Amino acid sequence: MTSKILEKAQATHKLTKAEIVKLLSLKETSALFETANQVRREFVGDGVYLRGLIEFSNYCKNNCLYCGIRAGNSHVKRYRLTPQEIVQTAQKASSYGYKTIVLQSGEDGWFDTDTLCDIVRQIKNLDVAITLSIGEKTHEEYAAYRQAGADRYLLRIETTDKTLYEKLDPGLSWENRVRCLYDLKELGYEVGSGSLVGLPGQSIESLADDLLFFQKLPVDMAGIGPFIPHPQTPLADQSADGHFELALKMMAVMRLLLPDINIPATTAMETLHPQGRLLALQAGANVVMPNATDTQYRSFYELYPGKICLGDNAEKCRHCIEGKIQSIGRHIAPGKGFHGDYKKENV
Ligand code: SAM
Ligand code: FES
């Protein structure tokens, strides 16, 4: 039965919701991971794209119940890099060989549109691709960042279960999050989305809906993060048991459904398993986003406990990941790694 579903997925890249649920419920996962690995190799090759992640502010006006930097967490030491520091950090990251810079923050109103556009323009001079991950904005704001040179945008849907989403992200509307994703698509961004896996009240059926949602959009990139409970949030008492395994299955099925997109091996996966990112790279992933934030700020961007590489610096992270990638017979892909680049380079 499983092998039939995997054969169908490999041949057509289409599955019904019931078939996806079946794959996500598997106890014996080696055939699923091996098939996802084959599809990854066929459609995006053995290269791994690196994206240098700069966490430039942990101020956030939102209060997502799962998130360590939510506005309501008064224990967090808040920090905000100046525009000049952000550009300098990007310069350093570029000098370590990163061809994509990801700028991520909480929803911090201090950065108005002009300030953000100015930062984007300055970083763009480094000849890098720019990804923004700064939350829900208006169409006008997204258009301005795009005009300034932003290439990609990451906004996880977190869950397609509207009721669950609005319970866990109080004050936010699920429809508005979807509106953001379609606005970004319409403006010509490469759109990245993704889910949190293991949220309290989240069903396997709703995870299957997430995958069908990504396929419908369709996304250019999607990151699957296991939910890791943070002790200073209302979800402190939840467990993370089984979240890594389920997130890996989600990621593998996503590779089958969207064979040529960019899929990161997420940092949260390595927090739950010492080999998390390497296992993910062997089950469908082709991207890693090493931390390029200055060491002094890293511990304050604590979305969840146990985040890896907190005491390391950007240069060390860059070299460390290269060694790990080579240890599984893969290599760092050259270039900026836009969706479809591999195909273009290999026709
Ligand atoms: N503010 C931006 C946004 O909302 O898209 C970007 C920053 S937000 C902290 C980045 C991602 O962190 C979220 O999309 C969420 O999936 C993830 N995250 C937050 N809390 C987490 C937790 N406890 N465990 C794992 N991932 C978490
Ligand atoms: Fe805003 Fe997490 S609640 S970044």
Nearest CA to ligand 1 atom 8: 106
Cite the beta strand spans of the chain per DSSP E. Answer: 47-50, 52-57, 100-105, 129-133, 152-154, 190-197, 221-226, 287-288, 331-332
Instruction: For residue 70, give the ligand 2 atom closest to its CA.
Output: 3
Residue 88, judged by CB atoms within 10 A of its CB (0-12, 13-18, 19+), counts as middle
CB 82 within 8 A of CB 295: no
68 lines ligand 2 (CB under 6 A): no
pLDDT at 181: 98
pLDDT at residue number 347: 72
Output the pLDDT for position 313. Answer: 92
pLDDT along the chain (347 residues), means of 10: 96 98 98 98 98 98 98 98 98 97 98 98 98 98 98 98 98 98 98 98 98 98 98 98 98 98 97 97 98 96 95 92 96 96 87
Residue 219 contacts residue 4 (beta carbons within 8 Å): no
Mutation to probe ligand 1, out of 65, 196, 289, 308 (largest number of atoms < 8 A from CB) = 196
Question: Taking Cα atoms as reference points, which of 310, 250, 261 lies closest to residue 286?
Answer: 261
Q: How much is the pLDDT for 111?
A: 98
325, 48 Cβ separation under 8 angstroms: yes
Token reading at 243: 């979240």
Distance (angstroms) between ligand 2 centre and the Cα of 180 equals 16
Ligand 2 binding pocket mutation candidate from 60, 61, 168 (most atoms within 8 A of CB): 60
- CATH T-level fold of 15-345: TIM Barrel (3.20.20)
Which residues surround ligand 1 with Cβ inside 6 Å?
A: 66-67, 104, 106-107, 133-135, 155-156, 158, 196, 225, 227-228, 230, 268, 303-304
The predicted pLDDT at position 293 comes to 96
Q: What are phi and psi of 324, to 5 degrees?
A: -65, -45
**What are the structure tokens assigned to 309, written together?**
């590489």
Give me ligand 1 centre to Cα 306, in Å: 15
Give the distance (Å) from ligand 2 centre to CA of residue 67: 6
The pTM of the whole model exceeds 0.95: yes
- Measured from the alpha carbon of residue 210, the closest ligand is 1
Sheet holding 152-154, edge to edge: 52-57, 100-105, 129-133, 152-154, 190-197, 221-226
Q: What is the pLDDT of residue 1?
A: 85
Instruction: Return the pLDDT at 345.
Output: 85
105 Cα nearest atom in ligand 2: 4
Q: What is the pLDDT, as a whole number, of residue 157?
A: 98
